[in-house]
Amino acid sequence: MAVEELDTGGRSSPVALVLHSEEGPEHDQALAGVIAESHRVLLPSHPGFGGQPRVAGVDRPADLAYLYLALLDGYGVDSCALTGSSLGAWIALEMATMEPRRFSSLILVSPIGLKFNGRTDASFAEVLVGPQDAVSQLLYSDPAHDVWRDRKDTEDVVRRAEQRESLLHYGWEPYMHNPRLRHLLRRVAMPTLLVAGADDGFVPAGYYAALTGALPGAQLVSIPGAGHFPQVEQPAETARQVSQFLPGAADRPLSLSRKSGQP
């Protein structure tokens, strides 16, 4: 498994695990950079993303959660901060229900993975098919902020397709949620920050408020002028919220100082 290690705060700093969104690992490197000012950050690439092959038998976010718990075991990490964005936040929630005592805090940026509306209501908007412009309008307050929008290079097109296929693999049926996860949320008792874009068209109305209410120690912040990826559209405000929540994090716009490493 490919893992980037960011340790601008020094290797004696507390550990944070950052799990990227379905847009790929580079999408959340800047967010990880903010956390790395006060933590030793582990930023793995999910199987099927960032050019990494998928792993046989790892078919759902809960399977990825066990994979990352094993990763922490390999690093000898018994306690850490946990952060995830979108798909990564879904995986983080699965991990937090499995081993809640292991995580000192939880930051969820636009988490998916739950269903709070009616049985026949759509759980999330369809973003796996359809014209790119329509998908961008759902995911971004300003579609021009879509980091993939103008990429025409063949390598980029193929990589985006591979990552969309992997999202389909992990989240297709039931679509983008685990029906069992909702009933386990009471186990997530660590301090939790839920960051959501005010213009997120991917999730149903009331979704983030319902999720916040289901988490015993959670607070919700809504970022104006942002869709499903506030760390991309409003990086300075996202950084400020993370900095206020996570002791020692730098109160500055998102930036990155990093180096590569593997377990």
Residue 259 covered by a domain: no
35: nearest Cα among 14, 4, 50: 14
Across the range 40-63, mean pLDDT stands at 96
- Does the pTM of the predicted model rise above 0.95? no
Across the range 188-211, mean pLDDT stands at 97
Residue 263 covered by a domain: no
Residue 257 covered by a domain: no
Residue 190 covered by a domain: yes
What is d(CA 71, CA 68) in angstroms, rounded to the nearest whole number? 5
pLDDT for position 252: 34
Residue 10: pLDDT band with limits 50, 70, 90: low
Residue 179 covered by a domain: yes
Across the range 137-164, mean pLDDT stands at 88
Domain span at 79: 3-252
Residue 256 has pLDDT above 90, yes or no: no
Residue 82 has pLDDT above 60, yes or no: yes
Residue 235 has pLDDT above 90, yes or no: yes
Q: What is the domain count for the chain?
A: 1
Residue 157 has pLDDT above 60, yes or no: yes
Residue 261 covered by a domain: no
What is d(CA 21, CA 7) in angstroms, rounded to the nearest whole number? 21
98: nearest Cα among 1, 220, 228, 185: 185
Token readout for 240 is 């400020």
75: nearest Cα among 20, 3, 21, 19: 3
Residue 139 covered by a domain: yes
DSSP string, 77-107: -SSEEEEEETHHHHHHHHHHHH-GGGEEEEE
Residue 86 covered by a domain: yes
For residue 255, CA distances in Å to 18, 35, 79, 119 come to 15, 10, 25, 41
The CATH number given to whatever domain includes residue 22 is 3.40.50.1820
